[in-house]
Structure 1
Protein backbone atom coordinates (compact mmCIF):
# COMPACT_ATOMS: atom_id res chain seq x y z
CA UNK A 1 0.00 0.00 0.00
CA UNK A 2 1.38 3.40 -1.00
CA UNK A 3 1.95 5.76 1.91
CA UNK A 4 0.50 9.26 1.73
CA UNK A 5 2.44 12.45 2.42
CA UNK A 6 1.02 12.77 5.93
CA UNK A 7 2.18 9.29 6.93
CA UNK A 8 5.63 9.76 5.40
CA UNK A 9 6.23 13.06 7.17
CA UNK A 10 4.94 11.70 10.48
CA UNK A 11 7.16 8.62 10.20
CA UNK A 12 10.16 10.85 9.41
CA UNK A 13 9.50 12.86 12.58
CA UNK A 14 9.08 9.66 14.59
CA UNK A 15 12.36 8.29 13.21
CA UNK A 16 14.23 11.47 14.15
CA UNK A 17 14.86 12.55 10.55
CA UNK A 18 13.16 15.80 11.52
CA UNK A 19 13.64 16.84 15.13
CA UNK A 20 11.96 19.47 17.32
CA UNK A 21 12.84 22.91 15.96
CA UNK A 22 13.63 21.69 12.43
CA UNK A 23 11.99 23.72 9.65
CA UNK A 24 9.83 21.82 7.17
CA UNK A 25 9.86 23.24 3.65
CA UNK A 26 7.08 22.21 1.32
CA UNK A 27 9.21 21.98 -1.82
CA UNK A 28 11.97 20.00 -0.09
CA UNK A 29 9.48 17.52 1.36
CA UNK A 30 7.81 17.03 -2.02
CA UNK A 31 11.17 16.27 -3.61
CA UNK A 32 12.26 14.00 -0.77
CA UNK A 33 9.13 11.87 -0.84
CA UNK A 34 8.52 12.00 -4.58
CA UNK A 35 5.08 13.58 -4.41
CA UNK A 36 3.55 16.82 -5.58
CA UNK A 37 3.41 19.89 -3.35
CA UNK A 38 -0.37 19.83 -2.92
CA UNK A 39 -0.57 16.67 -0.73
CA UNK A 40 2.50 17.90 1.19
CA UNK A 41 0.78 21.22 1.86
CA UNK A 42 -2.35 19.43 3.05
CA UNK A 43 -0.28 17.12 5.26
CA UNK A 44 1.54 20.06 6.85
CA UNK A 45 -1.77 21.79 7.57
CA UNK A 46 -3.08 18.60 9.19
CA UNK A 47 0.05 18.17 11.31
CA UNK A 48 -0.15 21.80 12.43
CA UNK A 49 -3.78 21.30 13.46
CA UNK A 50 -2.67 18.29 15.50
CA UNK A 51 0.05 20.40 17.20
CA UNK A 52 2.82 18.28 15.69
CA UNK A 53 4.06 21.40 13.90
CA UNK A 54 4.27 24.98 15.11
CA UNK A 55 4.60 28.38 13.44
CA UNK A 56 7.91 30.22 13.54
CA UNK A 57 7.18 33.40 11.68
CA UNK A 58 6.05 32.26 8.23
CA UNK A 59 7.73 28.88 8.58
CA UNK A 60 6.50 25.61 10.02
CA UNK A 61 8.80 23.78 12.41
CA UNK A 62 8.55 20.49 14.26
CA UNK A 63 6.96 21.32 17.60
CA UNK A 64 8.63 20.69 20.94
CA UNK A 65 7.14 19.92 24.33
CA UNK A 66 7.75 22.17 27.33
CA UNK A 67 8.02 20.77 30.86
CA UNK A 68 4.30 21.04 31.61
CA UNK A 69 3.29 19.44 28.31
CA UNK A 70 5.75 16.62 28.94
CA UNK A 71 4.33 16.00 32.42
CA UNK A 72 0.76 16.04 31.10
CA UNK A 73 1.65 13.61 28.32
CA UNK A 74 3.25 11.12 30.72
CA UNK A 75 0.28 11.27 33.11
CA UNK A 76 -2.12 10.37 30.32
CA UNK A 77 0.25 7.78 28.88
CA UNK A 78 0.73 6.05 32.23
CA UNK A 79 -3.00 5.68 32.84
CA UNK A 80 -3.90 4.54 29.31
CA UNK A 81 -0.96 2.13 29.10
CA UNK A 82 -1.86 0.69 32.52
CA UNK A 83 -5.42 0.12 31.33
CA UNK A 84 -4.10 -1.57 28.17
CA UNK A 85 -1.93 -3.89 30.27
CA UNK A 86 -4.83 -4.80 32.54
CA UNK A 87 -7.05 -5.58 29.57
CA UNK A 88 -4.25 -7.57 27.94
CA UNK A 89 -3.96 -9.66 31.11
CA UNK A 90 -7.66 -10.37 30.76
CA UNK A 91 -8.01 -10.84 27.00
CA UNK A 92 -4.62 -11.66 25.43
CA UNK A 93 -4.44 -14.96 23.57
CA UNK A 94 -1.59 -17.34 24.43
CA UNK A 95 -0.05 -16.55 21.03
CA UNK A 96 -0.02 -12.83 21.84
CA UNK A 97 1.71 -13.49 25.15
CA UNK A 98 4.37 -15.58 23.40
CA UNK A 99 4.98 -12.75 20.95
CA UNK A 100 5.57 -10.37 23.87
CA UNK A 101 7.93 -12.86 25.50
CA UNK A 102 9.86 -13.23 22.24
CA UNK A 103 10.14 -9.45 21.92
CA UNK A 104 11.73 -9.15 25.36
CA UNK A 105 14.10 -12.04 24.64
CA UNK A 106 15.25 -10.39 21.39
CA UNK A 107 15.72 -7.05 23.12
CA UNK A 108 18.19 -8.57 25.59
CA UNK A 109 20.32 -9.41 22.54
CA UNK A 110 20.50 -5.80 21.32
CA UNK A 111 21.23 -4.06 24.61
CA UNK A 112 24.14 -2.05 23.18
CA UNK A 113 22.06 -0.33 20.48
CA UNK A 114 19.92 2.37 22.13
CA UNK A 115 18.35 3.45 18.82
CA UNK A 116 17.29 -0.06 17.83
CA UNK A 117 16.08 -0.76 21.37
CA UNK A 118 13.97 2.42 21.28
CA UNK A 119 12.41 1.28 18.01
CA UNK A 120 11.73 -2.17 19.47
CA UNK A 121 10.29 -0.57 22.61
CA UNK A 122 7.62 1.16 20.53
CA UNK A 123 6.69 -2.14 18.92
CA UNK A 124 6.52 -3.83 22.33
CA UNK A 125 4.11 -1.23 23.71
CA UNK A 126 2.06 -1.34 20.51
CA UNK A 127 1.72 -5.12 20.90
CA UNK A 128 0.34 -4.64 24.42
CA UNK A 129 -2.14 -2.10 23.08
CA UNK A 130 -3.36 -4.60 20.48
CA UNK A 131 -3.53 -7.38 23.08
CA UNK A 132 -6.00 -5.26 25.07
CA UNK A 133 -8.54 -6.00 22.33
CA UNK A 134 -10.13 -2.57 22.76
CA UNK A 135 -10.12 -0.56 19.55
CA UNK A 136 -11.02 2.73 21.22
CA UNK A 137 -8.16 2.46 23.68
CA UNK A 138 -5.77 1.61 20.85
CA UNK A 139 -6.89 4.74 18.98
CA UNK A 140 -6.25 6.95 22.01
CA UNK A 141 -2.84 5.40 22.61
CA UNK A 142 -1.96 5.99 18.96
CA UNK A 143 -2.56 9.71 19.56
CA UNK A 144 -0.41 9.67 22.69
CA UNK A 145 2.45 7.87 20.97
CA UNK A 146 2.25 10.24 18.02
CA UNK A 147 2.99 13.09 20.45
CA UNK A 148 5.86 11.05 21.92
CA UNK A 149 7.57 11.50 18.53
CA UNK A 150 8.16 15.14 19.54
CA UNK A 151 10.68 14.06 22.18
CA UNK A 152 14.17 14.70 20.85
CA UNK A 153 15.80 11.72 22.57
CA UNK A 154 15.02 8.37 24.13
CA UNK A 155 15.20 7.70 27.85
CA UNK A 156 16.85 4.39 26.91
CA UNK A 157 20.03 6.33 26.14
CA UNK A 158 20.58 6.96 29.88
CA UNK A 159 23.12 4.87 31.74
CA UNK A 160 21.53 1.77 33.23
CA UNK A 161 18.08 2.48 31.83
CA UNK A 162 18.15 -0.21 29.13
CA UNK A 163 18.72 -3.04 31.59
CA UNK A 164 16.11 -1.67 34.00
CA UNK A 165 13.55 -1.14 31.22
CA UNK A 166 13.86 -4.70 29.98
CA UNK A 167 13.46 -6.08 33.48
CA UNK A 168 10.32 -3.95 33.77
CA UNK A 169 9.10 -5.34 30.43
CA UNK A 170 9.60 -8.86 31.77
CA UNK A 171 7.51 -8.07 34.84
CA UNK A 172 4.73 -6.64 32.67
CA UNK A 173 4.66 -9.69 30.40
CA UNK A 174 4.70 -12.09 33.36
CA UNK A 175 1.68 -10.34 34.88
CA UNK A 176 -0.13 -10.48 31.54
CA UNK A 177 0.78 -14.17 31.12
CA UNK A 178 -0.66 -15.08 34.53
CA UNK A 179 -3.80 -13.01 34.03
CA UNK A 180 -2.91 -10.63 36.87
CA UNK A 181 -4.82 -7.54 35.76
CA UNK A 182 -3.92 -5.35 38.75
CA UNK A 183 -0.30 -6.49 38.66
CA UNK A 184 0.01 -5.79 34.92
CA UNK A 185 -1.45 -2.30 35.35
CA UNK A 186 0.84 -1.55 38.30
CA UNK A 187 3.92 -2.86 36.49
CA UNK A 188 3.26 -0.81 33.39
CA UNK A 189 2.40 2.32 35.36
CA UNK A 190 5.69 1.97 37.28
CA UNK A 191 7.54 1.43 33.99
CA UNK A 192 6.20 4.69 32.55
CA UNK A 193 6.96 6.52 35.81
CA UNK A 194 10.57 5.34 35.73
CA UNK A 195 10.91 6.37 32.08
CA UNK A 196 9.53 9.83 32.89
CA UNK A 197 11.92 10.25 35.82
CA UNK A 198 14.84 9.24 33.60
CA UNK A 199 13.79 11.73 30.93
CA UNK A 200 13.57 14.54 33.48
CA UNK A 201 17.09 13.72 34.64
CA UNK A 202 18.35 13.77 31.03
CA UNK A 203 16.66 17.11 30.40
CA UNK A 204 18.09 18.55 33.63
CA UNK A 205 21.58 17.40 32.67
CA UNK A 206 21.20 18.92 29.19
CA UNK A 207 20.09 22.18 30.80
CA UNK A 208 23.19 22.26 32.99
CA UNK A 209 25.43 21.74 29.98
CA UNK A 210 23.71 24.62 28.16
CA UNK A 211 24.51 26.97 31.02
CA UNK A 212 28.23 26.23 31.15
Structure 2
Protein backbone atom coordinates (compact mmCIF):
# COMPACT_ATOMS: atom_id res chain seq x y z
CA UNK A 1 0.00 0.00 0.00
CA UNK A 2 1.45 3.33 -1.03
CA UNK A 3 1.12 6.23 1.38
CA UNK A 4 0.66 9.81 0.22
CA UNK A 5 3.88 11.58 1.06
CA UNK A 6 3.53 15.04 2.66
CA UNK A 7 5.86 17.42 0.84
CA UNK A 8 7.44 18.70 4.04
CA UNK A 9 8.46 15.29 5.41
CA UNK A 10 11.64 13.47 4.46
CA UNK A 11 12.20 9.70 4.52
CA UNK A 12 13.51 9.75 8.08
CA UNK A 13 10.43 11.55 9.39
CA UNK A 14 8.10 9.29 7.43
CA UNK A 15 9.61 6.09 8.82
CA UNK A 16 9.78 7.54 12.33
CA UNK A 17 6.13 8.53 12.18
CA UNK A 18 5.16 5.07 10.93
CA UNK A 19 6.90 3.52 13.95
CA UNK A 20 5.36 6.09 16.27
CA UNK A 21 1.78 5.38 15.20
CA UNK A 22 2.29 1.62 15.20
CA UNK A 23 2.44 0.85 11.47
CA UNK A 24 5.71 -0.88 12.33
CA UNK A 25 6.14 -2.33 15.81
CA UNK A 26 8.99 -3.90 17.78
CA UNK A 27 10.43 -6.84 15.85
CA UNK A 28 9.00 -5.82 12.48
CA UNK A 29 11.46 -6.01 9.58
CA UNK A 30 12.00 -2.88 7.49
CA UNK A 31 12.80 -3.48 3.83
CA UNK A 32 14.20 -0.68 1.67
CA UNK A 33 12.19 -1.52 -1.43
CA UNK A 34 8.91 -1.82 0.47
CA UNK A 35 9.46 1.47 2.30
CA UNK A 36 10.41 3.24 -0.94
CA UNK A 37 7.19 2.04 -2.55
CA UNK A 38 5.04 2.90 0.47
CA UNK A 39 6.33 6.45 0.75
CA UNK A 40 6.94 7.15 -2.92
CA UNK A 41 10.62 7.97 -2.59
CA UNK A 42 13.80 6.46 -4.00
CA UNK A 43 15.78 3.85 -2.10
CA UNK A 44 18.77 6.12 -1.41
CA UNK A 45 17.03 8.42 1.10
CA UNK A 46 15.34 5.36 2.61
CA UNK A 47 18.73 3.71 3.09
CA UNK A 48 20.15 6.87 4.68
CA UNK A 49 17.12 7.16 6.97
CA UNK A 50 17.45 3.53 8.09
CA UNK A 51 21.14 4.07 8.88
CA UNK A 52 20.26 7.14 10.95
CA UNK A 53 17.55 5.27 12.85
CA UNK A 54 19.95 2.42 13.54
CA UNK A 55 22.52 4.88 14.91
CA UNK A 56 19.82 6.21 17.26
CA UNK A 57 19.11 2.61 18.42
CA UNK A 58 15.54 2.77 17.13
CA UNK A 59 16.38 -0.04 14.72
CA UNK A 60 18.44 -3.15 15.42
CA UNK A 61 20.22 -5.78 13.30
CA UNK A 62 18.73 -9.22 12.90
CA UNK A 63 21.24 -10.97 10.70
CA UNK A 64 21.36 -8.87 7.54
CA UNK A 65 17.97 -7.32 8.19
CA UNK A 66 16.98 -4.22 10.12
CA UNK A 67 14.09 -4.57 12.55
CA UNK A 68 12.31 -2.12 14.83
CA UNK A 69 14.10 -2.37 18.17
CA UNK A 70 12.40 -3.38 21.39
CA UNK A 71 13.15 -2.27 24.95
CA UNK A 72 14.25 -4.59 27.73
CA UNK A 73 12.79 -4.14 31.22
CA UNK A 74 15.92 -2.30 32.36
CA UNK A 75 15.92 -0.03 29.32
CA UNK A 76 12.28 0.83 29.90
CA UNK A 77 12.93 1.64 33.57
CA UNK A 78 15.92 3.84 32.64
CA UNK A 79 13.85 5.63 30.01
CA UNK A 80 11.06 6.41 32.47
CA UNK A 81 13.57 7.87 34.98
CA UNK A 82 14.96 10.23 32.35
CA UNK A 83 11.52 11.04 30.98
CA UNK A 84 10.13 11.92 34.41
CA UNK A 85 12.96 14.35 35.14
CA UNK A 86 12.92 16.03 31.73
CA UNK A 87 9.12 16.24 31.57
CA UNK A 88 9.04 17.63 35.10
CA UNK A 89 11.56 20.29 34.12
CA UNK A 90 9.50 21.17 31.05
CA UNK A 91 6.41 21.66 33.24
CA UNK A 92 8.39 23.81 35.69
CA UNK A 93 9.64 26.02 32.87
CA UNK A 94 6.18 26.15 31.29
CA UNK A 95 4.81 27.49 34.58
CA UNK A 96 7.30 30.34 34.26
CA UNK A 97 7.20 31.02 30.54
CA UNK A 98 3.93 29.75 29.01
CA UNK A 99 1.82 32.46 27.41
CA UNK A 100 -1.86 32.83 28.20
CA UNK A 101 -2.59 31.45 24.73
CA UNK A 102 -0.49 28.34 25.36
CA UNK A 103 -2.29 27.69 28.64
CA UNK A 104 -5.67 28.00 26.93
CA UNK A 105 -4.55 25.50 24.28
CA UNK A 106 -3.52 23.03 26.99
CA UNK A 107 -6.86 23.41 28.75
CA UNK A 108 -8.73 22.92 25.48
CA UNK A 109 -6.74 19.74 24.78
CA UNK A 110 -7.78 18.23 28.10
CA UNK A 111 -11.43 19.04 27.41
CA UNK A 112 -11.33 17.72 23.85
CA UNK A 113 -9.55 14.51 24.86
CA UNK A 114 -12.46 13.47 27.07
CA UNK A 115 -14.28 12.54 23.86
CA UNK A 116 -11.57 9.97 23.07
CA UNK A 117 -11.77 7.83 26.20
CA UNK A 118 -13.15 4.82 24.29
CA UNK A 119 -10.41 4.99 21.64
CA UNK A 120 -7.00 4.07 23.15
CA UNK A 121 -5.12 4.73 19.89
CA UNK A 122 -6.60 8.21 19.57
CA UNK A 123 -5.96 8.82 23.26
CA UNK A 124 -2.33 7.84 22.78
CA UNK A 125 -1.93 10.32 19.90
CA UNK A 126 -3.69 13.03 21.91
CA UNK A 127 -1.44 12.29 24.88
CA UNK A 128 1.68 12.80 22.76
CA UNK A 129 0.22 16.05 21.44
CA UNK A 130 -0.50 17.27 24.99
CA UNK A 131 3.01 16.51 26.22
CA UNK A 132 4.55 18.10 23.13
CA UNK A 133 2.60 21.28 23.85
CA UNK A 134 4.08 21.39 27.36
CA UNK A 135 7.56 20.89 25.91
CA UNK A 136 7.04 23.83 23.56
CA UNK A 137 5.59 25.96 26.38
CA UNK A 138 8.87 25.54 28.27
CA UNK A 139 10.45 27.81 25.65
CA UNK A 140 13.73 25.91 25.89
CA UNK A 141 14.82 24.51 22.53
CA UNK A 142 17.49 22.22 23.96
CA UNK A 143 15.06 20.59 26.36
CA UNK A 144 12.55 20.13 23.53
CA UNK A 145 15.23 18.36 21.46
CA UNK A 146 16.05 15.95 24.29
CA UNK A 147 12.39 15.22 24.93
CA UNK A 148 11.83 14.54 21.24
CA UNK A 149 14.48 11.82 21.45
CA UNK A 150 12.91 10.35 24.59
CA UNK A 151 9.47 10.24 22.98
CA UNK A 152 10.85 8.62 19.83
CA UNK A 153 12.23 5.85 22.00
CA UNK A 154 8.88 5.53 23.80
CA UNK A 155 7.46 4.44 20.43
CA UNK A 156 9.41 1.18 20.83
CA UNK A 157 6.95 0.03 23.48
CA UNK A 158 4.48 -2.33 21.91
CA UNK A 159 1.44 -1.06 23.83
CA UNK A 160 0.27 2.15 25.42
CA UNK A 161 -0.65 2.26 29.11
CA UNK A 162 -3.70 4.30 28.02
CA UNK A 163 -5.21 1.08 26.64
CA UNK A 164 -5.55 -0.30 30.17
CA UNK A 165 -9.07 0.01 31.55
CA UNK A 166 -9.58 3.19 33.56
CA UNK A 167 -6.17 4.63 32.78
CA UNK A 168 -7.46 7.13 30.21
CA UNK A 169 -9.79 8.86 32.67
CA UNK A 170 -7.11 8.95 35.37
CA UNK A 171 -4.54 10.33 32.89
CA UNK A 172 -6.88 13.17 31.96
CA UNK A 173 -7.35 14.07 35.62
CA UNK A 174 -3.56 14.14 35.97
CA UNK A 175 -3.31 16.32 32.85
CA UNK A 176 -5.82 18.69 34.42
CA UNK A 177 -3.68 19.01 37.56
CA UNK A 178 -0.59 19.73 35.47
CA UNK A 179 -2.35 22.46 33.49
CA UNK A 180 -3.76 24.03 36.65
CA UNK A 181 -0.27 24.26 38.16
CA UNK A 182 1.15 25.76 34.96
CA UNK A 183 -1.69 28.27 34.79
CA UNK A 184 -1.07 29.26 38.42
CA UNK A 185 2.60 29.83 37.62
CA UNK A 186 3.57 27.31 40.31
CA UNK A 187 6.71 25.67 38.95
CA UNK A 188 7.18 23.31 41.90
CA UNK A 189 3.59 22.05 41.68
CA UNK A 190 3.81 21.64 37.89
CA UNK A 191 7.06 19.69 38.24
CA UNK A 192 5.57 17.44 40.92
CA UNK A 193 2.30 16.90 39.03
CA UNK A 194 4.04 15.85 35.84
CA UNK A 195 6.53 13.59 37.61
CA UNK A 196 3.63 11.93 39.44
CA UNK A 197 1.81 11.49 36.12
CA UNK A 198 4.82 9.72 34.58
CA UNK A 199 5.35 7.60 37.71
CA UNK A 200 1.73 6.39 37.65
CA UNK A 201 1.98 5.61 33.92
CA UNK A 202 5.13 3.56 34.56
CA UNK A 203 3.56 1.67 37.47
CA UNK A 204 0.48 0.96 35.36
CA UNK A 205 2.66 -0.44 32.59
CA UNK A 206 4.64 -2.60 35.02
CA UNK A 207 1.46 -4.05 36.51
CA UNK A 208 0.05 -4.75 33.05
CA UNK A 209 3.26 -6.45 31.90
CA UNK A 210 3.40 -8.55 35.09
CA UNK A 211 -0.22 -9.67 34.62
CA UNK A 212 0.46 -10.51 30.97
CA UNK A 213 3.45 -12.60 32.03
CA UNK A 214 1.34 -14.48 34.57
CA UNK A 215 -1.37 -15.10 31.99
CA UNK A 216 1.19 -16.36 29.50
CA UNK A 217 2.87 -18.58 32.04
Q: Normalized against structure 2, the TM-score is what?
A: 0.95
The match for 1:92 among 85, 94, 98 is 98
Q: Partner residue of 2:150?
A: 144
Query: What does residue range 67-78 of structure 1 map to in structure 2 within 5 Å?
Result: 67-78=73-84
Query: What does residue range 192-211 of structure 1 map to in structure 2 within 5 Å?
Result: 192-211=198-217
Q: Separation in 2 of the partners of 1:206 and 1:30?
A: 36
Q: Partner residue of 2:60?
A: 54
What is the CA distance between 1:110 and its match in structure 2?
Answer: 1.7
Aligned to 1:55, what secondary structure does the other structure show? strand
Query: What does residue range 181-196 of structure 1 map to in structure 2 within 5 Å?
Result: 181-196=187-202
Q: Separation in 1 of the partners of 2:216 and 2:20?
A: 25
Q: Partner residue of 2:162?
A: 156
Gaps of 5+ in 1: none
What is the CA distance between 1:201 and its match in structure 2?
Answer: 1.2
Q: Partner residue of 1:26?
A: 32
Gaps of 5+ in 2: 1-6
Q: Deviation per CA, 1:31-57, whole angstroms, max 9, x where unpaired?
A: 111111111111111100100000111
What is the CA distance between 1:206 and its match in structure 2?
Answer: 2.0
The total of aligned residue pairs comes to: 211
Q: Separation in 1 of the partners of 2:116 and 2:155?
A: 22
Q: CA RMSD in A?
A: 0.8
Q: Separation in 2 of the partners of 1:194 and 1:162?
A: 12
Q: Partner residue of 1:6?
A: 12
What is the CA distance between 1:204 and its match in structure 2?
Answer: 1.3
